[in-house]
Amino acid sequence: MQERKPRFVSLSGLDVHRVYTRDDLKDWSSDDQLGAPGEFPYTRGIHSTMYRGRLWTMRQFAGFGLASDTNRRFKYLLQHGQSGLSVAFDMPTLMGIDADDPRAHGEIGHCGVAVSSLDDMERLFDGIPLDQVTTSMTINGPAAVIFAMYIAVAEKRGIRLDRLDGTLQNDILKEYIAQKEWLFPPEPSLRLITDTIAYCAEHAPKWHPISISGYHIREAGSTAVQELAFTLYDGLTYVDAAVKAGLPVDRFAPQLSFFFNAHNDFFEEIAKFRAARRLWAREMTRRYRPGDPRSAQLRCHAQTAGCSLTAQQPMNNVVRTTIQALAAVLGGTQSLHTNSMDETLALPTESAVKLALRTQQIIAQESEVANSVDPLGGSYYVESLTNRLEEAALDYFRRLDDLGGMVRAIEGGFPQHEILDASQRYQREVERKERIVVGVNEYVEPEERPIPILQIGQEIESEQVARLSDLRKTRDPFKMAGAVEALQEAASCGENVMPYLIEAVKAKATLGEICMALKEVFGTYREPAVL
């Protein structure tokens, strides 16, 4: 076995001492830095009772095949105790193209559910009471179109929009930074997001119109510091855009939410959630002076780290997910998804996703960690990590300010380059065995027994394409064309496009047709080279 040096650094590269004492918190004030749960700066949680008042929402990410396939999975999860729905869309949907587009061939239903029209959205939520569940939809470039479909389904059922509760990811900045699924340039994309924020503030006050996502930034290879810094700075960029559009900060800020990764470095991850709440509260207060305390409260969803899962010895992923989920809970998340052990191989099977849900339920019901609010608060180690993560994130804030803000920084490739460097550094450490990944670079088994995985057949694509063909033949073409033309006119003259999107999807315009119409107004985007 190759000899290795002992590890004394966190995944973010922060030095880790052998032991922590009061001396590591010399300038630390418990009143200013810690506070009480439910009180500014919310280091210990945004609610005074936290999980003693209400457990986190257990929201398993689900989506595959046709809308009817995913609908059955939703009902299966709800029957087994899931408390919120979370929709995964396939790649064509994420990219705003229809299932019968040649570019979609071979991708229909493979990484999520195929949604090309309002009819698909109706099938997706068939028999599910939209006013009694919370729904999260992980989609960004065409998010406003998908949200319009969801609203149209609710209206058709006679459900008032002020009863809808859930989250639209709708975070385009992290797409330019990390995930690379964009449709339009940054400025019109920000305008679409501002339109959804304004629409929800007026019509759907319980709905979160944007979930500012660090998850994909971390999955792209960032450190915890970079995830924290870039995510919160993205959030401030959205707030700034909405305020400049004329929205009072207290009108929309309480509806903002965040989405973080829960990775392997247990204590660093706990500290990251705590630092995020404190930093957001301080920056929102300093920059915008909100009158409503909720405007400075960071509420978040967490998902265990997909990039930490291994194809080798996939049963080990159950242990990784459990550790990561526990870190998110001890960090104070409001909502949680636990990855299934087989997700690095394919979409999760029913048995794997049920085990992932049971992981949350065992943590909630058997571990007793929900009995006390912020149980690690006051730990010399955790408080020191919280301080250092906040300081390191603020250093990135200053650099981004100097670059002219996040949009200019993205156009110059700054966050992309920082993440590239971090991911390459981590990979080198794994290859040198300076970081051990069990089953990959140590404790390797030469022969492994394969596990069952979920298969998506070619018939899925054929059926989805056939349904689209039927839709195009049976809809009123003049009504559809008129609705799309009205949408383009609203987009051109600066009106809020949400009412026009709703009318377009009701007129049976498809996702791809709507996105193409908007591209004619907004244009497309080509990212800069990252050298």
Residue 206, domain extent: 54-431
The residues near 496 (Cβ < 8 Å, ≥ 6 apart) are 195, 198, 199, 490
- Round the average pLDDT of the chain to a whole number and report it: 94
Q: What CATH code is carried by the domain that includes residue 170?
A: 3.20.20.240
DSSP H or E segment with residue 68: helix 67-79
The residues near 218 (Cβ < 8 Å, ≥ 6 apart) are 224, 227, 260, 261, 263, 305, 307
Q: Is residue 513 part of a domain?
A: no
Q: Is residue 40 part of a domain?
A: no
Q: For the chain, what's the residue count?
A: 531
Q: Structure tokens of 192?
A: 């679409």
Q: What pLDDT does residue 1 have?
A: 41
Distances (CA, A) of 49 to 33, 44, 84, 531: 19, 10, 21, 48
**Looking at 29-43, 215-229, 262-276, 281-295, which range is the least confident one?**
29-43
Q: What are phi and psi of 66, to 5 degrees?
A: -85, 165
pLDDT (tens digit per residue) in 154-183: 999 999 999 999 999 999 999 999 999 999
Query: 310: helix, coil or strand?
Result: coil
Strand ordering across the sheet containing 61-62: 61-62, 85-88, 134-138, 165-168, 207-208
What's the distance, Cα to Cα, between the start and end of the chain in Å? 37
Q: What is the mean pLDDT of residues 104-128?
A: 96
Q: What pLDDT does residue 452 have?
A: 87
Q: What is the mean pLDDT of residues 275-298?
A: 97
pLDDT (tens digit per residue) in 468-478: 999 999 999 99
- Paired residues of 57 in beta bridges: 335
Q: Is residue 223 part of a domain?
A: yes
Distances (CA, A) of 132 to 76, 204, 448: 16, 15, 44
Q: What is the mean pLDDT of residues 28-56?
A: 89
Q: What pLDDT does residue 274 have?
A: 98
Q: Is residue 400 part of a domain?
A: yes
Instruction: Report whether 320 contacts 440 (CB < 8 A).
Output: no
Q: Is residue 98 part of a domain?
A: yes
Using the predicted structure, report yes or no on whether residue 239 has a pLDDT greater than 60: yes
Q: Is residue 228 part of a domain?
A: yes
The CA distance from 511 to 517, in Å, is: 10
Instruction: Report whether 38 contacts 64 (CB < 8 A).
Output: no
The CA distance from 448 to 217, in Å, is: 32
Give the model's confidence band at 530: pLDDT under 50 very low, under 70 low, under 90 confident, else very high.
low
Q: Is residue 516 part of a domain?
A: no
Reduced 3-state DSSP string for 449-480 = CCCCCCCCCHHHHHHHHHHHHHHHHHCCHHHH
Name the amino acid, one letter, at 387.
N
Name the amino acid, one letter, at 233.
Y
Angle between helices 143-156 and 511-522 (to 10 degrees): 130
453 in the Ramachandran plot: left (φ > 0), alpha (ψ -120 to 50) or beta? beta
Name the amino acid, one letter, at 178.
A
Q: What pLDDT does residue 447 have?
A: 87
The CA distance from 294 to 339, in Å, is: 30
Q: Is residue 507 part of a domain?
A: no
Q: What percent of the chain has pLDDT over 70?
A: 98
Question: Pick from 180, 460, 439, 425: which is nearest to 347 by CA?
Answer: 460
Q: What pLDDT does residue 6 have?
A: 53
What does pTM read for this prediction?
A: 0.94
Q: What pLDDT does residue 346 have?
A: 84
The number of domains in the chain is 1
